[in-house]
Structures are given as structure tokens and as C-alpha cells.
Amino acid sequence: MKNKSNKITKKNEAPRFPANLLVPVGHFLTAKLHTLEKRKKELSNEDPFKDTSRLLDNASPDADAAEQFGHARTSAIKTEINRKIVQVRKALTMVKIGKYGICEECGQMIDTDRLIIFPEATLCAKDARKREK
């Protein structure tokens, strides 16, 4: 089957975003990646367990509890940021190889509304729901 540009395409081939539309998406995802990495560094500095002066301090039990809570909080946020960094890097790879917006599970286009809200999505909504179960 021939399309308007006289290139031969396969009948069942999933449509793809044109490369010129992926350039701004790539820039957006790169900026998001830098923001996440910066926030991850900031969180490391906020972790009370990183403060070496605390080792010399004979703090009261409530201060120790605050340190425990602060460490648990920063650890949880860093875990979430790490997960998001992986997602953004995966989406950037898809942009680079020309498969951005294609569900890695079923091979169909991911709904553009989903990509606008969640630009690092690599699964369509249906397959994302299946994976969450």
C-alpha cells in the first residue's frame, strides 16, 4: 500500500508521530529529567542521616524520632523520584528510536490525551491498568 509520499507502508503497521513533533517532546522530557535529578540531589542534602554532626550529639529521644521520620520521608520521596527518572529515560529512548507514543505492550498508539498528562507513558491506559493488577 502506498501513502501520499510514495513510500510503501505495511497495512498493520502502527502509526507513528512525525519526527518533527518529537523534538519538542524530547526537549520537554530532557528538562524534566534534569529537574528530577536536581531534586534528588537536594533531597540527599535534606536527609538528617547525612548530617555528620548528629553522630556527636546526644540528642533526646524525640530528636532521634524526628531524624528517623525525616530519613523515612526523604527515602520515600527519593524512591519515587528514582522511579520517575527511569520512566523519563525510557520515554526519551523511545523518542530517540522513533517509537514514542507507541504502547510497548500492544504496539498501538497511546492516546494523545494520556501523553499530554503523562508524557513519559510507555503503555496505553488499558495495558497500564492490566499491569497494575
Structure confidence by residue, pLDDT tens digits, 74-88: 889 999 999 999 999
Instruction: Write down the pLDDT at residue 61.
Output: 55
- Measured between alpha carbons, how far is 109 from 115 in angstroms, rounded to an integer? 10
| DSSP structure class, residue 102 | B
**Distance, CA of 22 to CA of 80 (rounded, Å):** 26
Query: How confident is the prediction for the chain on average, in pLDDT?
Result: 81
Query: Distance from first CA to last CA of the chain, Å, rounded?
Result: 39
CA dihedral 121, 113, 36, 86 (to 10 degrees): 0
This prediction has a pTM of: 0.73
Residue 9, pLDDT score: 45
- Say whether pLDDT at 2 is over 90: no
